[in-house]
Structure 1
Amino acid sequence: MEGKKTVRAAERALDILLCFTRQPELSLTEIARMTELNKSTVFRLLATLEEKGFLIRNAETEKYRLGFRIWELSAHLSRTDDPAILFLPEMEQLRDQLEETVSLYVRDGLERVRVQAVESLQAIRRVAPVGARMPLAVGAAGKVLASFSSPVVLDRILSDPEWPENVDQKAYLAQLDRIRRQGFATSVEEREAGTSAVAVPVFGQDGNIMAALAVSGPVGRLTLERMEEVVPSVIEAAERMQKMLKT
């Protein structure tokens, strides 16, 4: 019984940490609501996580944020195992070449997660927070991840109860078919007003898609014509990333 309690406490502590993938700062009340735990339980777990350095509490706002121990752990990720670290130099090079924000996305269930981003140095730019979760139904990167997924995964995506009502599934499937043929996807204000993006797949050593490499920027600068111009550069960067996985 004690072992089960210990595992349950660990699961709850991890659920609390995962709350910070949605917001950078959270109060005890907010965390209790998000985890569906009572405040006394959350309070005890927060105290432990704070003591161990995984969380930091702001004395003025009484809100919590991730602590330095999280960054200490991430600093020891293996460069060969973590694409967000392994591909960063290539992403920086692509950003410098195209002068737009470059992001790397992976699929997690029925969502895509931005695991790495290199922002444009231009005054007007696409701000891309790492850790953000977005749907697969809209956006260039989401459509790339969906188009090269297995039929089983695609069925799950299409049957998602949270599928956007304004996205026609027949038109979506036709887009995915076109993306598979041409090897890239584009989007103009599909998920966010004023923003356009182009994305290509990054395949793993097993031949399956492991990530989507995307370039995004303001619609006035990253037009459809401009996206077509940069596609070869984005594909070349993705191919270099694939070669890095084999070394």
Structure 2
Amino acid sequence: MDDTKLTVRAVERALDILSLFTDETELSLTEIAAKTELHKSTVHRLLASLEGKGYLVRNAETEKYRIGFRIWELAANMSQSDDPGVLLQPEMERLRDSLGETISLYVRDGNERIRIQAVQSNQAIRRVAPIGARLPLSVGASSKVLIAFAEPDEQAQLLQELEWASPADRDAFVGQLGDIRRLGYATSIEEREPGAAAVSAPIYNRAHKLVAALGVSGPSNRLTLEKMKEHAMLIIEGANRMGKMLK
């Protein structure tokens, strides 16, 4: 194998290692080797390079690695005008203050949705929504929105490719899509997580392209179906305001 291919492989492996930290806060060398299916000696060399460049930091006591400050420096240079998570945060905070529940922003990535921004409720009992979490598209209010308002061809492909717990779950999901498009929002109660409920509406940009789902979530004993119906128009109006801010 020539030097160019070796260099490219090393870069790909290093990026694979960094990608593990989208789901984990700290990882040991052994854990990283297991997750990447690479030999420990190879992982050790890559970790040394990433640590040397400041992309990872090793805890001397636990010998586990975490994201380094270089990553945050790169993130700080993202264009705020192009980042909906940054641009829409003030409107999300406004909606949080109005409804009293946690507000999340989701985008679709392949057959998953990613929470790219979240504003936590100020209530003592609240739904905590970690930014960067990847969630299945087959369950949840925001998943329904991202599929219900997708282009027909795209929607058909997603419904065919997604993994479902059972055929009945798929049928129930598909059966709600028409009503969701008609009403302009979707709801879910304890579908993905016991004790949690959510309501979501689509965000379209000024070119009328679906760019995200705006989700409101909280404890199911407080965010009841009746309460979600009461909130629906405020959420749709909030999503419309946010959409006008996006190109």
Alignment of 1:78-117 (within 5 A): 78-117=79-118
Report the residue type matching 2:215 in the other structure.
Answer: A
1:110-138 CA-to-partner distances (Å, cap 9, x unmatched) read 00111110100110000101111111111
User: How high is the sequence identity, in percent, across the aligned residues?
Assistant: 61
User: Distance in 2 between the 1:126 and 1:165 partners?
Assistant: 27
2:174 corresponding residue in structure 1? 173
1:65-115 CA-to-partner distances (Å, cap 9, x unmatched) read 111111111111111111111111111111111111000001011001111
User: Distance in 2 between the 1:134 and 1:153 partners?
Assistant: 19
Report the residue type matching 2:19 in the other structure.
Answer: L
2:34 corresponding residue in structure 1? 33
Compute the RMSD of aligned alpha carbons: 1.4
1:66 corresponding residue in structure 2? 67
Q: Which moved more, 1:181-190 or 1:199-208?
A: 199-208
User: Distance in 2 between the 1:57 and 1:166 partners?
Assistant: 45
User: Distance in 2 between the 1:225 and 1:11 partners?
Assistant: 49
Q: Which moved more, 1:227-236 or 1:165-174?
A: 165-174
User: Distance in 2 between the 1:187 and 1:3 partners?
Assistant: 50
1:17 corresponding residue in structure 2? 18
Where structure 2 has 5 or more consecutive residues not aligned to the other structure, the ranges are none
**Any idea what SS the aligned residue of 1:162 has?**
coil
2:77 corresponding residue in structure 1? 76
Residues 170 and 90 (structure 1 numbering): CA distance in 2 closer, same or farther, change over 3 Å? Answer: same
Alignment of 1:202-221 (within 5 A): 202-221=203-222
User: Distance in 2 between the 1:122 and 1:167 partners?
Assistant: 36
1:11-44 CA-to-partner distances (Å, cap 9, x unmatched) read 1111111111111111111111211211111111
2:8 corresponding residue in structure 1? 7
Deviation at 1:54, TM superposition (A): 1.0
**Any idea what SS the aligned residue of 2:116 has?**
strand
1:160-194 CA-to-partner distances (Å, cap 9, x unmatched) read 36322275322211211211111100000000000
Where structure 1 has 5 or more consecutive residues not aligned to the other structure, the ranges are none
Q: TM-score, normalised by structure 1?
A: 0.95
1:242 corresponding residue in structure 2? 243
**Any idea what SS the aligned residue of 1:42 has?**
helix
2:198 corresponding residue in structure 1? 197
Q: TM-score, normalised by structure 2?
A: 0.95
Q: How many pairs does the alignment contain?
A: 246
User: Distance in 1 between the 2:164 and 2:148 partners?
Assistant: 16
Residues 161 and 182 (structure 1 numbering): CA distance in 2 closer, same or farther, change over 3 Å? Answer: closer
User: Distance in 1 between the 2:4 and 2:81 partners?
Assistant: 34
User: Distance in 2 between the 1:87 and 1:62 partners?
Assistant: 38
